Structure 1
């Protein structure tokens, strides 16, 4: 485990245990460096990673604070991991934006509509790396949800559709490839535009095999050896 990952893990554990709560101010970069026995540069990289994921916020002239309610444990069943020691890594979701778009793409071909809503989220996996997710719905179905709070967007969107609209996800087709990361995803992940990375496409179906949502998940390269946790059949 690298020093960067070790520091990130320690801060996440403090948030999970309640030692650090919503609104709490973290020690200074120098104090954190001394406490963890690492350089200030390593602390800055760890804080930048956690800030990008929404776990903390950094305010110029004030310090670094726990985001608290803006980040919740993620129910991301299709992307759960264990480390080399068999420990399941906690995942956290941070909603970045919700946009109404008429843009064409694989989502429009699958969902067969004219106007769509794209939900952009960052999924942090155990402080180790980030995933960038674009979740596409037809505009009319998003409108039927009747207004969605940020904390709901940071939970399981499939369950939200099932509970609010009685549209359960009955099947998910998944494709994986290694490809160039689009500029928007690269920007969110702190990568150079055009850099290759991991790409997963998910197509969700509901009753009568009707297309329900389209999702793409991106990640930059990472060196750790991780085990994917498979969802148990219910």
Structure 2
């Protein structure tokens, strides 16, 4: 594990365990550097990663604080990672928007119907890099969910659909490609528009092979060497 990762993951663990709570002030950069035996520059880079992921905020003249936004580990079973040393990397979901659309595309070809709901989210992987996801459902299926608050949007959406609608995901087709990212994905991932990136499409089926959801996951380039954790039956 790099010194940068050691600092950021230590702070994440303290947030997860409740040692650091919403609004708590973090130690100074110098104190963190001394605690972890690293340079102040390394601490500053680690803090900027966590600011980008939404876990902390920095206020000029006041210090660094645990974010006021709710911090909850993401349950994203098809995209879980370990680093090269075997350490699990926590992921955090940041909901962006929920939109009703009639626009056609690969999702409509798969789902059928006329109206759709798209749930946009950003998943921060241990503050190291972000994934941007678009989760599509039929409008009529989404309406049956009975509304989604922020806490629900931070959960595994497949499991939420299974629990509320009794529509389990029986199997998933996964397609990957390397292509220029759409503008909305590039903006969320803070990379240049049109830059190539990793794109994964997931097509979920429920009972009797009925199409249930269509999801696209986007990622820009990152240098970490990671292990993808595969859950049994996922």
- TM-score, length-normalised on structure 2? 0.88
Does residue 38 (structure 1) correspond to residue 36 (structure 2)? The answer is no
Which deviates further from its counterpart, 152-161 or 215-224? 215-224
Does residue 145 (structure 1) correspond to residue 145 (structure 2)? The answer is yes
Give the structure 1 partner of residue 212 of structure 2: 212
Does residue 20 (structure 1) correspond to residue 29 (structure 2)? The answer is no
Runs of 5+ consecutive residues of structure 1 not aligned to the other structure: none
CA, structure 1 residues 29+104, in 2 after alignment: closer, same or farther (shift >3 Å)? farther
Runs of 5+ consecutive residues of structure 2 not aligned to the other structure: none
- TM-score, length-normalised on structure 1? 0.88
1:61-100 Cα deviation digits (max 9, x unpaired): 6554323772211211111112112222222212122122
**Distance in 1, Cα, partners of 2:63 & 2:118:** 32
The answer (yes or no) to whether the contact 2:52–2:127 under 8 Å persists in 1 is no
Find the residue that maps to 2:225 and give its secondary structure.
coil
The answer (yes or no) to whether the contact 1:71–1:151 under 8 Å persists in 2 is no
- Per-residue deviation, 1:3: 4.2
CA, structure 1 residues 117+205, in 2 after alignment: closer, same or farther (shift >3 Å)? same
**Distance in 1, Cα, partners of 2:142 & 2:220:** 29
RMSD: 2.3
**Distance in 1, Cα, partners of 2:142 & 2:59:** 33
Q: For 1:59-138, what aligned pairs fall within 5 Å after superposition?
A: 63-67=63-67, 70-138=70-138
Find the residue that maps to 2:25 and give its secondary structure.
coil
Aligned residues: 233
Which deviates further from its counterpart, 113-122 or 159-168? 113-122
Find the residue that maps to 1:77 and give its secondary structure.
coil
**Distance in 1, Cα, partners of 2:141 & 2:46:** 38
**Distance in 2, Cα, partners of 1:60 & 1:97:** 29
**Distance in 1, Cα, partners of 2:188 & 2:125:** 15
The answer (yes or no) to whether the contact 1:54–1:70 under 8 Å persists in 2 is no
